[in-house]
């Protein structure tokens, strides 16, 4: 049986659209009705998760316009609600109404009921619902004039054994990351309600028991999955980390290497004074990198045990992802996966979230800074093997660009900081999402169509040398400015077989050469190309970053009223027609136009087609319809 294509539509229309989709695929109407009647949320997937649009909100999800907005925009995945440490630390306090969770009411039971009802309402729009799951960041006070507060009040006084099972330990101190003297690691960066911040130890088996109870609870509220955030390990020196690090080193090194390289003569009894994680690359050492690699593998082990294996034992097909950080390719001092072995990178995850932080939420056009995440997007796509992914750009102004950039590079456009309460932003989000949905075949399971590949220097990073990362950025920028159609692939995945698909392989620091495909577009335009999963076509994706910038330099702007895109004039394109195909026609599509525009193409004997791309505002797609044979076939 052919797979059904999910359509992000209201539940009232779901059955008829499934029937239509089946009929179009040659499945009988009777069988289509049976399939439609048996599609259930959360069923185990027979293939990788697919979705092409999403939204994510930490605030305003209780707003009266939130659900109507979801109905209008039709995102396939909604990332909303809190089910990890933020919930258990803050939902029973008056401070839960503020950052980060913005709970709509006070009370564990009250918020539980409210979130369950929200999930039910979102499912009526045929959206998958994924909850945020803070895995270790605890807010509270062990003692105060009011007694324990936040997380510690919940653990000591409000733990519900009927809901969560028995406590794994009596004293919550036994769950925390520890300094060398045994005191808990403590911060005061956010001061939510004047409370301190503590960190649970992900290597602590008792903490993993707590996490499993939280996973059960979240699944019970009707979630389809979790996205894990605050996914860190600090310089915890507790007994669990000491033991786990010894085991890690024992697997990696024999006694002679431990002694010669790290001065460890008796591993079984060695007491570590540092088992750190991220650190300054300039001060990195082989032993610091072993600590960082251990930290990232340990957190991955916790994720796999608790979220993947345990979570999916309760709910087959549970959607799981991680909220990680990349910035402008910060390595060793950033990126939760920077030293993970390739075999573990994004393993078992359904989709990837990477934050670019403040590195890509403004433009500086006179210095050729487009405020883009194109290189990051292509890196994530290549490293993950085409899994769904999104970028958190902290972008509330350039709404069109934020959506277009991801759609053009195989990602999933999202609306984390897009303000649906702003009528202008809401209109644009809906307009662009409906464009993607209307042309679903262009995006769903498409594959990149690139002439060249740029290798990301992950081997150098693993050796402690981050210098080539800057050279990678420079080569990538030059390739983008020249409009070369290229992919990005980490060099530890660059097998001969994978590289054979490209006519040109670039390494960090190489000079950019013009590709076969040529575009007379300005450098403020980015170009990529994809092939659809179904049908024979080639799609060019064009993203225009030109705009009238805010008067204040490098300002992220104050909302969509400051996006102010400047349309790009028509420009010429020369493109090789894929081998074994002939050109049938060219169409131009853009969210700003309701109907496609036919474009004339001039096909040369060389197999190149020449055409002019019409003027567009921010995002456009050029579809080259192809047929079998060669261009000179009858």
Render pLDDT for 99-128 as a digit per residue (tens, 0 to 9).
999 999 999 999 999 999 999 999 999 999
Interval 614-626 mean pLDDT: 98
Residue 29 belongs to what H/E stretch?
helix 29-38
Q: By the 8 A CB rule, do 98 and 192 touch?
A: yes
Q: Per DSSP, what are the bridge partners of residue 456? A: 490
Q: Give per-residue pLDDT as tens, 255-264.
A: 999 999 999 9
d(CA 47, CA 21): 18
Q: By the 8 A CB rule, do 623 and 442 touch?
A: yes
Residue 68 burial (CB count, 10 A) = 12
**Percent over 70 (pLDDT), the chain:** 92
Residue 44 burial (CB count, 10 A) = 9
Q: How confident is the model at residue 4 (pLDDT cuts 50, 70, 90)?
A: very low
CA angle 442, 413, 499 (to 5 degrees): 60
| 550 three-state secondary structure | coil
HSE of 496 in the Cβ direction (CA atoms, 13 Å)? Answer: 0
Number of residues written out for the chain: 634
Unique residue bearing structure tokens 């090194």: 253
Q: Quickly list DSSP for 315-331.
A: STT-EEEEEEE-TTT--
Full strand arrangement of the beta sheet holding 196-199: 149-150, 137-141, 196-199, 186-187
Q: How confident is the model at residue 26 (pLDDT cuts 50, 70, 90)?
A: very low
Residue 595 burial (CB count, 10 A) = 7
Query: Six-digit token pair at 6?
Result: 């999910």
d(CA 440, CA 434): 9
Residue 612 burial (CB count, 10 A) = 15
d(CA 292, CA 260): 20
Give the orientation angle of helix 66-73 with respect to helix 108-123, to 10 degrees.
Answer: 30
Q: What is the mean pLDDT of the chain?
A: 92
Q: Give per-residue pLDDT as tens, 126-154.
A: 999 999 999 999 999 999 999 999 999 99
Residue 7 pLDDT exceeds 90: no
Q: By the 8 A CB rule, do 217 and 119 touch?
A: no
- Cα dihedral 332/334/336/341 (nearest 10): -30
Query: Six-digit token pair at 28?
Result: 């009988």
Query: Six-digit token pair at 167?
Result: 């406590």
Interval 402-417 mean pLDDT: 92
Residue 228 pLDDT exceeds 90: yes
Interval 192-218 mean pLDDT: 98
Q: By the 8 A CB rule, do 568 and 525 touch?
A: yes
Q: How far, in Å, are 145, 462, 627 from residue 415 at the CA level?
A: 41, 34, 37
What is the structure's pLDDT at 418?
73
Interval 367-392 mean pLDDT: 97
**Percent over 90 (pLDDT), the chain:** 89
What is the structure's pLDDT at 483?
98
d(CA 323, CA 58): 13
Q: Give per-residue pLDDT as tens, 493-514.
A: 999 999 999 999 999 999 999 9
CA angle 304, 88, 162 (to 5 degrees): 85
Domain spans, the chain: 452-515
What is the torsional sign of CA 392, 393, 397, 403?
negative
Residues 6+ apart with CB under 8 A from 309: none
Residues 6+ apart with CB under 8 A from 127: 8, 70, 74, 75, 76, 77, 78
What is the torsional sign of CA 180, 157, 89, 204?
positive
What is the structure's pLDDT at 83?
98
Residue 312 belongs to what H/E stretch?
helix 311-314
Query: Six-digit token pair at 316?
Result: 């087959």
d(CA 461, CA 473): 14
Q: By the 8 A CB rule, do 8 and 437 touch?
A: yes
Residue 337 pLDDT exceeds 60: yes
Q: Give per-residue pLDDT as tens, 438-447.
A: 999 999 999 9
Q: By the 8 A CB rule, do 472 and 554 touch?
A: no
Interval 339-365 mean pLDDT: 95
Name which of 180, 95, 100 is nearest 133 in CA terms. Answer: 100
Measured in degrees and rounded to the nearest 5, phi and psi for residue 585 equal 175, 165
Alpha-carbon radius of gyration of the chain: 26
Q: How far, in Å, are 45, 119, 596 from residue 388 at the CA level?
A: 15, 22, 27
Name which of 201, 180, 293, 284 is nearest 245 in CA terms. Answer: 293
d(CA 224, CA 222): 7
Q: Give per-residue pLDDT as tens, 28-45.
A: 333 333 333 333 333 344
Residues 6+ apart with CB under 8 A from 489: 382, 383, 453, 454, 455, 456, 498
Q: How confident is the model at residue 24 (pLDDT cuts 50, 70, 90)?
A: very low
Q: Give per-residue pLDDT as tens, 559-594.
A: 999 999 999 999 999 999 999 999 999 999 999 999
CA angle 25, 28, 32 (to 5 degrees): 85
Q: Quickly list DSSP for 60-86.
A: STTSTTHHHHHHHH--SEEEEEE-SHH
Full strand arrangement of the beta sheet holding 77-82: 54-57, 77-82, 128-134, 225-229, 319-325, 351-355, 389-392
Q: How confident is the model at residue 16 (pLDDT cuts 50, 70, 90)?
A: very low
Measured in degrees and rounded to the nearest 5, phi and psi for residue 375 equal -65, -45
Measured in degrees and rounded to the nearest 5, phi and psi for residue 335 equal 80, 110
Residue 97 pLDDT exceeds 80: yes
**Exposed e or buried b per residue across 478-514, where buried means at least 16 C-beta atoms within 10 angstroms of its C-beta:** bbbbbbbbbbbbbbbbbeeeeeeebebbbbbebebee
Name which of 36, 80, 31 is nearest 57 in CA terms. Answer: 80
Q: How confident is the model at residue 358 (pLDDT cuts 50, 70, 90)?
A: confident
Q: Pick 632 or 3 by higher pLDDT.
A: 632
Query: Six-digit token pair at 591?
Result: 């969210």
Q: How far, in Å, are 406, 515, 574 from residue 502 at the CA level?
A: 23, 11, 19
Q: By the 8 A CB rule, do 546 and 365 touch?
A: yes
Residue 554 pLDDT exceeds 90: yes
């Amino acid at each position: 049986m052919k797979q059904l294509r999910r359509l992000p539509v209201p539940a009232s229309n779901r059955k008829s659209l499934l029937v239509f989709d089946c009929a179009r695929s040659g499945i009988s109407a009777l069988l289509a009705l049976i399939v439609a009647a048996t599609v259930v949320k959360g069923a185990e997937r027979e293939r990788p998760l697919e979705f092409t649009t999403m939204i994510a909100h930490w605030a305003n999800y209780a707003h009266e316009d939130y659900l109507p907005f979801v109905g209008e925009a039709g995102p396939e995945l909604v990332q909303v609600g809190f089910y990890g440490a933020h919930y258990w630390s803050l939902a029973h306090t008056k401070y839960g109404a503020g950052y980060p969770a913005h709970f709509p009411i006070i009370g564990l039971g009250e918020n539980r009921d409210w979130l369950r009802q929200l999930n039910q309402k979102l499912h009526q729009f045929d959206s998958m619902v994924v909850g945020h799951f803070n895995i270790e960041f605890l807010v509270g006070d062990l003692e105060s004039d009011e007694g324990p507060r936040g997380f510690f009040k919940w653990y000591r006084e409000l733990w519900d054994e009927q809901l969560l099972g028995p406590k794994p330990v009596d004293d919550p101190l036994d769950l925390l990351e520890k300094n060398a003297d045994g005191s808990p690691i403590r911060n005061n960066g956010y001061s939510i309600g004047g409370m301190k911040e503590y960190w649970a130890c992900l290597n602590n088996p008792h903490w993993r028991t707590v996490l499993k109870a939280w996973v059960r609870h979240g699944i019970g509220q009707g979630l389809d999955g979790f996205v894990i955030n605050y996914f860190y390990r600090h310089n915890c020196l507790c007994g669990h980390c000491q033991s786990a690090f010894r085991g890690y080193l024992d697997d990696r090194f024999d006694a002679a290497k431990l002694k010669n390289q790290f001065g460890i003569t008796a591993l079984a009894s060695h007491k570590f004074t540092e088992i750190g994680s991220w650190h300054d690359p300039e001060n990195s050492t082989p032993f610091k990198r072993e600590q960082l690699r251990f930290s990232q593998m340990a957190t991955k082990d916790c994720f796999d045990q608790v979220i993947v294996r345990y979570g999916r034992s309760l709910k087959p097909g549970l959607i799981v992802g991680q909220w990680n950080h990349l910035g402008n390719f910060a390595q060793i001092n950033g990126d939760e996966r920077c030293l993970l072995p390739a075999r573990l990178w994004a393993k078992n995850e359904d989709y990837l979230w990477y934050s670019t932080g403040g590195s890509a939420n403004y433009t500086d056009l006179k210095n050729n800074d487009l405020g883009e995440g194109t290189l990051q997007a292509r890196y994530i796509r290549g490293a993950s093997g085409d899994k769904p992914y999104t970028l958190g750009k902290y972008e509330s102004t350039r709404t069109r660009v934020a959506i277009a950039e991801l759609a053009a590079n195989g990602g999933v456009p999202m609306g984390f900081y897009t303000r649906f309460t702003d009528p202008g932003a809401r209109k644009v989000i809906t307009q662009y999402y409906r464009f993607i949905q209307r042309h679903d075949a262009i995006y769903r399971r498409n594959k990149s169509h690139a002439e060249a590949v740029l290798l990301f220097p992950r081997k150098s990073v693993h050796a402690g040398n981050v210098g080539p990362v800057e050279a990678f950025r420079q080569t990538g920028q030059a390739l983008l400015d020249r409009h070369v159609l290229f992919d990005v692939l980490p060099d530890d995945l660059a097998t001969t077989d994978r590289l054979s698909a490209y006519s040109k392989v670039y390494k960090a620091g190489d000079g950019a050469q013009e590709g076969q495909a040529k575009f007379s577009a300005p450098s403020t335009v980015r170009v990529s190309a994809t092939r659809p999963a179904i049908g024979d076509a080639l799609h060019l994706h064009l993203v225009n970053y030109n705009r009238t910038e805010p008067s204040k330099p490098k300002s992220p702007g104050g909302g969509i009223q400051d996006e102010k895109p400047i349309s790009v004039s028509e420009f010429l394109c020369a493109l090789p027609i894929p081998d074994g195909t002939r050109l049938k026609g060219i169409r131009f599509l853009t969210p700003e136009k309701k109907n496609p525009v036919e474009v004339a193409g001039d096909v040369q004997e060389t197999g190149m087609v020449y055409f002019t791309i019409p003027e567009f505002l921010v995002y456009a797609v050029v579809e080259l319809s192809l047929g079998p044979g060669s261009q000179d076939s009858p």
